[in-house]
Every structure is written in C-alpha cells, then in structure tokens.
Structure 1
Amino acid sequence: MGRLGIGTLLLALGLAWIVPARAQEPARQEPVQQETVRVVATFSILGDLVRQVGGSRVAVTTLVGPNGDAHSFVPAPADAQAVAAARLVVVNGLGFEGWIDRLIKASGTKAKVVVAAKGIVPIEEDDDGHGPDHGHSHAADPHAWQNVANTRTYVANIRDGLASADPEGRAAYQANATAYLAQLDALDAEVRKAVAGIPEARRRIVTTHDAFGYFARAYGLRFVAPQGVSSQSEATARDVAAIVRQVRRDRIPAVFLENISDPRLMQQIAREGGAKAGGRVFSDALSEPGGPAPTYLEMMRHNVREFVAALGG
C-alpha cells in the first residue's frame, strides 16, 4: 500500500475513533428558563406591591397606569386580552374598581382573583366627620392603602395568591414579602414621627377627593374634601362654598391637589379660603417612573414631606 493509502487509512481510522467518542458525549443542557407568572393588577399602586412580592418570577400588567384614575377608567379590548392571558388577577376590592367584574367576565379568563383588601374592615365616608355630606355618606372608603398597616394585609394576600398560582415560587414569595413587610414597618414609623412634628392645631388639610380617610385615622391628620370617596362624584357649587367657609372658619392651613384631579377646583378653594396651596400629592395612583412617587414607599414618603412642608412641621 502506498504512502498516500496508509495515510488515508490512518485518517479514516482516526475519524472512526473520534466520531463515536463525540457521539457518546452528553448533550449540552440549555439552562431551563423560568416561566414568568403573568399577573394583572388593576392600578399602579397594586402593580408595585405585586412586583415587590413577585420579584423576577412575575410579569405584571397594570390596567390603570401612573397618574391614572381608576374610578373613571374605561377598559379597552387590550385590557380584556391581558386579563384573559393572566394566571392571577389582583384587585383592590371595597368597590374601588366598579368595572372589574364585568371585565373579568368578558375576558373569559381562568385566572385566580386575589382581593388585596380582603380582611380589612372598611371605614365609611364621613363617619368620622371629616367633610360635608356629598350624598355618599355610607359608601365604603376603598383607599385602605393610605394606612401603612393595611398595606401589610395587601402584601400578605398578594403573597398567598402568588403562592397559590405558582406553588414552586412559594419560598421566594415568602422571602420577598417578609423583606418588604420590614420596609413597611420602617415606613409606618417614619410617617408617625413626621406627623408628630406638626403642631396639633395645624393638622388640617383640604384635598381634592376623600382619599385620605385611612391616613387620617391612623396618623392623626384631619382631611376635608369637596368630593366623596370617588373622584367621579362632581362637587357642586354648594359643596365648594361649604368647604371655603370651613377653610376660613377653621383656619385650615393648606389645600393639596391630587395627581389624578383637575387643579382648578383646588386653586379656587385656596384662593377664596385664604389657604396655602400645597404641593401635589398622590392618592390613587403612583407617578411616572421618573417622578416623585414611582413606588408605594416613595409615594407615602413624598406625601408626608408635602404635608409637613405646608403645615409647618
């Protein structure tokens, strides 16, 4: 056999040994991608709480976004599609989202529904006397998150809902929730300390609509609003006149505009009542990501800073 023939044979034998050896190597395992849990939250504050508890395991769609008004929200077809695709839907409850039951039914979703405010005893509008009768005197106040202690309940309900929808993530949800509850405890202490620095006689505020009842009870400020617990209830001229008289009579120091509201009404009350126009506060919605209140924790801290600055704490 010629030199070329031997070389060719050796090459062939070499390949014969090499090819089977490679064939016996275990196949390379691609890393298993964790399937994210699709969650729909009805409004931006809930969306943030779900992200805090869910972490990287969840993909959150928020129906009513930053600076949006959930009271007057009208769902679009895309919202129904998002609900249909979700594994979990998180709602506030307490009548806050009057449109959500119809949306869930129309979507045909099989998602579990978590009511974040479940277990919270609601207060009723005006039952502690902070503001005139707006024709909704026995409506449940849905703004329970304005008391940080209530937000602990929200977090626990969201944690349990996520664990039910995604049992493999239970430990992660538990750990995230525990860490976030510690932050809520620190926030509650901050708010109490800040309000304690405001002279008691000056702890009175006018806001656009009656969204701070839980804050008032928990932290000792008094709020007056020309609208009821829903921003959809139009303040009448009589309501506005009554508020102006109260501002003058009680020497209420400051009037605050909410991020979801028309500024003209509050400017009129401040002007006619002789009160200071405070900064913008956030009641029912977070700010845009680059704004002053992009998360629940930052929203509460921002509001308290504005209250203290205007009331002389």
Structure 2
Amino acid sequence: MVVVLSIACSACETRDLPDRPRVLATFTVLADIARNVAGDHADVSSLTKFGAEIHGYEPTPGDLHKAADASLVVVNGLHLDDWFERFLSDIDVPRIVASDGIEPMPITEDPGTSHATGKPNPHAWMSPVEAKTYADNIARGLARVDPDHAVDYRENADRYGARLDVERARLLTAVAALPDNERALVSCEGAFSYLARDTGLTEHYIWPVNSEQEATPQQMRRTVEFVRDRHVPAVFCESTVNDAPMRQVQRATDARFGGTLYVDSLSEPNGPVPTYLRLLRHDLSTVIGGLTGMDGDRVAP
C-alpha cells in the first residue's frame, strides 16, 4: 500500500487541473447530487460503480489515482466511507464532507429501542430534508475550487432543494394516507432511519448498518414478531444485500415481499433508479404499493 500511496502522491505533484473542475464522489448517489449542483461547470464522476456495495469498499490503486487527479473529492462522512478518507491525508486534493452540519441518528442494534451502538447511521441522504444539506455543502465546496461560478452553484443547489421539497411533500402525503398498521417500513438493513423519522414511518430491520453480517436467530425472531404483532402487510430488502433472510420472514408471516428498495447505489442509466430523485420516487412507490397491494405508481404518483 505504501507503493500505491507514493504513486498517488507523485501524480498529485505533476497533475494539470482541467479547465473545468473535476469532482470525484465516493458513490453514485453523491455523484448525482453533485452533478445537479455543478451543472455544466464541472465534470462529476463516482468512485464506485452502479450497483456497488459501498460499506467496506476496498479502494484500488486506480481509485487513488482518480482522487489525485481530482479538483475536489466529495465524501459522505458519518464513517460510511472511512475506507477512502484514511487515504486522503496522503493526497493533496481539496475535500468536503457532504453530511457536515447534519445531526446524525444513532445506529441501534435493536430497532425501536435506545440501545445505540455509539456509531452514527450514515444514510442521511435518504431524507430529502438532509439531502438539501448535502447540496448546500457541495455548492460551497465547488465555489471554493471554482469561485468564478460560485453564484451558479448556489442557484443550482437552491433549485435542487426545491425539487427535494416536492419529493418530501409527496412522501408525507402518501404515508399520511396509510392505516396505522401499514405505516411500517420493514427492511433488511437499517438504512431508512432518516426517511422514517421525517415521514412518520416506524422502521424495523433485521440487522443494523452492517451488510456483511449474517442474520442471527434473535434478529430473525424479532423481525417476525414485529411483522406479526403489527400485522404489517409487506416487507422489503435493499438492492445491495442478500434478501434471503427477509424472504424467510415473509414465509413465516402473512406478509408479502413488497419489492427491492435502493439506498446505497443508483442503477445503470437505463435502470429503475438512474438518479437520486428517481430513487426516492421508486422507493416510495414500491413501499406504498407493497403495503397497500396496489400499483405503487398509481398510489404515489
């Protein structure tokens, strides 16, 4: 790894910055938000590919070269992309933490309790409210490396924030129409805490934010009991984790498997969630459609 870092640092000493800032985000959702803020004034790319599992990702030598050639690196923070941040101190490139200023929600081992792990839940972008902070932070970071277009970045972030307000209103309206027992979001991983908080959904998950672990018998039993006791009509799982445990929960209860939700990664451009705004709409329609047994696109247009 020492050799890799020395190569990266050598690259940063000789790099020629392009006419337009080159922005590197650690994953596709961040890159899409940054793209909306940057507009035509910067080139934005994602370090990880579409569909990638970003928890515990291992950077490659090529990734470090990309960072060394960037004008600005955007990380999520909240310990999500520590796998990359630890290398940035060895690379001379400006960096911003998109989640700066957000009050983090704690990760709890047991949903519905206060048994916090002491670590923050990193999925703050799943709240349209918090995503506006992401856009604001990115606008400030871009203005720092490209002050000539600072006003444009600010205006782009404001326009994007208005679109996020529309998505938030859509979420609130759809959830408000659900019966109490259907206002529950049961997923594999605890990735929806911020969204559930903002919309009044009760979140339950098999495991907290740790996609590499296997579901324990206690976690499975707890989830089955929650679904049965609440008469939750549908359960879900995220696209980047194994849905087999949730399929077991579904078979052990009267719930149906409501579909796949997207959190950590966008899809390919021709897939169901090519942008962050489309991700929010897809997840909303999937959740509402699964819980009600109706066409999600009709329930949550």
What is the TM-score when the length of structure 1 is the normalising length?
0.83
Shift of 1:136: 6.0
The alpha-carbon deviation at position 268 of structure 1 amounts to 1.1
Stretches of 4+ aligned residues off by more than 4 angstroms: none
CA distance in 1, matches of 2:244, 2:113: 20
Does structure 1 residue 212 correspond to structure 2 residue 188? no
In the other structure, the counterpart of 2:111 is: 130
Asked if structure 2 preserves the Cα contact closer than 8 Å seen for 1:46 and 1:92, the reply is yes
Do the aligned residues in 2 keep the contact of 1:61 with 1:82 (CA within 8 Å)?
no
Counterpart residue identity of residue 238, structure 1: Q
> Secondary structure of 2:86's match?
helix
Distance 1:236 1:295, change over 3 A: same
Distance 1:271 1:260 in 2: 21
| CA distance, structure 2, for counterparts of residue 178 and residue 36 of structure 1 | 21
Structure 2 CA distance for aligned equivalents of residues 118 and 232 of structure 1: 26
- Alignment of 1:68 onto 2:52: yes
* CA–CA distance in structure 2, aligned partners of residues 235 and 80 of structure 1: 34
What RMSD over aligned residues (CA atoms) do the two structures have, in Å? 1.9
Which amino acid counterpart does residue 184 of structure 2 have in structure 1?
R
Kept in 2, the 8 Å contact 1:66–1:287? The answer is: yes
1:244 offset after TM fit, Å? Answer: 1.6
Match of 2:286 in 1: 306
Residue 255 of structure 1: how far off its partner (Å): 1.0
SS in 1 for 2:26: strand
Amino acid at match of 1:117: S
- Write the distance in 1 (CA, Å) between the matches of 2:151 and 2:99: 23
Tell me if the contact between 1:254 and 1:278 (Cα under 8 Å) persists in the aligned partners.
yes
**Residues 261-285 of structure 1: CA distance to partner in whole angstroms, max 9, x if unpaired?**
1121211111112311011111111
Please state how far the C-alpha of 1:82 moved relative to its aligned partner. 0.4
Superposition pairs for residues 152-301 of structure 1, below 5 Å? 152-301=132-281
Query: Which protein is bigger by CA-based radius of gyration?
Result: 1
Contact kept in structure 2, 1:71 and 1:98, CA below 8 Å: no
Matching residue of 1:112: 94
Following superposition, the deviation at residue 179 of structure 1 comes to 1.5
SS at match of 1:125: strand
What is the aligned partner in structure 2 of residue 27 from structure 1? none
Q: Which moved more, 1:74-83 or 1:238-247?
A: 238-247
Aligned residues: 276
Partner of 2:125: 145
Q: Deviations over 1:23-49 (max 9, x none)?
A: xxxxxxxxxxx8121111011110001
Matched residue SS, 1:169 = helix
Decide whether the 8 Å contact of 1:91 with 1:114 is kept in 2. yes
Kindly report which structure 2 residues correspond to 1:35-74, keeping only aligned pairs within 5 A, or say none: 35-74=19-58
Identity of aligned residues (%): 36
User: Does the C-alpha gap of structure 1 residues 284 and 136 become closer, same or farther in structure 2, counting only changes over 3 Å?
Assistant: farther
Could you tell me how far apart the structure 1 residues matched to 2:203 and 2:25 are?
28
The offset of 1:132, in angstroms, is 7.2
1:82 is the counterpart of 2:63 = no
Deviation at 1:131, TM superposition (A): 4.9
C-alpha distance in structure 1 between counterparts of 2:250 and 2:153, whole Å: 45
1:96 is aligned with what amino acid? Answer: L
Q: SS state of the match for residue 114, structure 1?
A: strand
Superposed CA deviations along residues 61-118 of structure 1, whole A, max 9, x for unmatched, are 211222211103111111000001111010111111120222324xx42211111100
- Partner SS, residue 91 of structure 2: coil
Paired residue type of 1:226: I
Query: Please, which of 91, 98, 121 is the counterpart of residue 75 of structure 2?
Result: 91
